[in-house]
């Protein structure tokens, strides 16, 4: 006779396996339906990302900031691949893992509402969206700062900073491990406001994609007086500068909003010519291909690689 603990164990494993498989397949089907236009336009991130990319790229072509930079700049194809890999392929692969984590937390008594500091569900929708946008952006700003400050995290973030010519597609060129770092903190941010995304959160997500594309684009935009609130290409270019202020581990960490950098004094824009070297000391060690870059952060750093 099979003991009760063994039966319970197998039952639990079956539940977790089913949850993993369902989450994985749902992500696959949702992405495929998006490609086939079977998802409502306002939730269709595949074509939304594609259209935003083409529009910002068109503006780069018509109004280039660095006029000697090629339309198909260095690593354009690699960055375009990263854009779809990180936004869709990796999301599909990891979706089941996140579902397992959710079940694990529930299993030890940590529920969605457990960490709620204030519930925004009763507020007007526009205010829900603003609060959702601000909290998630601050969480991402904080995580981004950590990626620069700590060597273990910086090893993976180097892939994003190995870009030598800026363009819109560089926005989503990053090591897949960054999703592992960002996702738990972003989830925590959602839990703080009641554990849910506002019904029209797609507005925030599309806005974030658009701002991120512009920040990396070969276009000179500062947004005028709004530059103290919203991030912009001039400010973000200095985030990618090869040379940083002495004693600094990074500047201009803002994702969509610049105000966090102004509040915490990490802002830095000494000039706006757009003609500064990009990268970091030691970036010649970064592999030039996707496979090599995926493995790079897991390798032991050479003694000569002392940039951080």
With cut-offs at 50, 70 and 90, classify the pLDDT of residue 90. low
pLDDT digits (tens, 9 = 90+) for 51-76: 999 999 999 999 999 999 999 999 99
Tell me if 250 sits within 8 A of 148, measured CB to CB: yes
For residues 227-253, average pLDDT? 95
Return the domain boundaries, the chain.
Answer: 54-296
Whether the pLDDT of residue 35 is over 70: the answer is: yes
CA atoms within 13 A on the CB side of 208: 21
Burial of 213 per CB tally in 10 Å (0-12, 13-18, 19+): buried
> Does 29 or 187 have the greater pLDDT score?
29
Helix 125-149 to helix 202-216 angle (10° resolution) is 40
Q: Which residues contact 70 (CB under 8 A, 6 or more apart)?
A: none
Instruction: Give per-residue pLDDT as tens, 98-130.
Output: 555 565 556 555 555 556 667 788 889 999 999
Question: CA–CA separation, 240 vs 250, rounded Å?
Answer: 9
What does the pLDDT read at residue 302? 47
Q: Give the per-residue pLDDT at 290.
A: 93
Residues 115/215, Cβ–Cβ less than 8 Å: no
Per-residue pLDDT for 256 more than 90? yes
Q: What number of other Cβ atoms are within 10 A of residue 258's Cβ? A: 26
pLDDT score of 271 more than 60? yes
In Å, what is the CA distance from 208 to each residue of 7, 169, 211?
47, 14, 5
CB 175 within 8 A of CB 286: no
As a dihedral over the C-alpha atoms of residue 148, residue 152, residue 153, residue 155, rounded to 10 degrees, the angle is 80
- Return the CA Rg of the chain: 21
Q: What is the 3-state secondary structure (H, E, C) of the chain?
A: CCCHHHHHHHHHHHHHHHHHHHHHHHHHHHHHHHHCCCCCHHHCHHHHHHHHHHHHHHHHHHCCCCCCCCCCCCCHHHHHHHHHHHHHHHHHHHHHHHHHHHHHHHHCCCCHHHHCCCCCCCCCHHHHHHHHHHHHHHHHHHHHHHHHHCHHHHHHHHHHHCCCCCCHHHHHCCCCHHHHHHHHHHHHHHHHCCCCCCCCCHHHHHHHHHHHHHHHCCCCCCCHHHHHCECCHHHHHHHCECCCCCCCCCCCCCCCECHHHHHCCCCCCCCCCCCCCECCCCHHHCCCCHHHHHHHCCCCCCCCCCCC
């Amino acid at each position: 006779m099979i003991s009760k603990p063994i039966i319970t164990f197998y039952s639990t494993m079956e539940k977790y396996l089913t949850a993993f498989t369902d989450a994985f397949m749902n992500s696959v089907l949702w992405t495929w339906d998006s490609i086939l236009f079977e998802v409502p336009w306002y939730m269709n991130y595949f074509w939304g990302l594609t259209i935003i990319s083409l529009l910002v790229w068109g503006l780069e072509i018509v109004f280039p900031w660095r006029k000697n930079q090629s339309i198909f700049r260095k690593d354009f194809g690699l960055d375009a691949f990263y854009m779809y890999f990180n936004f869709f392929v990796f999301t599909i692969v990891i979706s089941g893992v996140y579902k397992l984590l959710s079940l694990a937390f529930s299993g030890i008594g940590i529920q969605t509402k457990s960490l709620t500091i204030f519930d925004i569900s009763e507020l007007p929708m526009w205010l829900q969206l603003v609060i959702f946008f601000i909290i998630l952006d601050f969480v991402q700003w904080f995580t981004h700062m950590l990626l620069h400050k700590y060597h273990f995290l910086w090893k993976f973030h180097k892939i994003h900073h190995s870009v030598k010519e800026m363009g819109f597609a560089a926005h989503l060129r990053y090591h897949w491990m960054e999703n592992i770092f960002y996702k738990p903190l972003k989830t925590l941010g959602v839990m703080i406001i009641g554990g849910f995304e506002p019904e029209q959160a797609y507005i925030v997500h599309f806005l974030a994609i658009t701002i991120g594309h512009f920040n990396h684009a070969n276009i000179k935009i500062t947004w005028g007086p709004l530059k103290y609130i919203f991030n912009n290409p001039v400010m973000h270019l200095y985030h990618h500068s090869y040379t940083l202020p002495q004693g600094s581990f990074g500047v201009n960490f803002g994702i969509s909003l610049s105000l966090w950098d102004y509040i915490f004094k990490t802002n830095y824009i000494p000039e706006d010519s757009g003609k500064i070297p990009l990268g970091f000391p030691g970036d010649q060690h970064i592999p030039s291909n996707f496979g090599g870059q995926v493995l790079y952060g897991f390798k032991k750093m050479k003694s000569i690689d002392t940039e951080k």
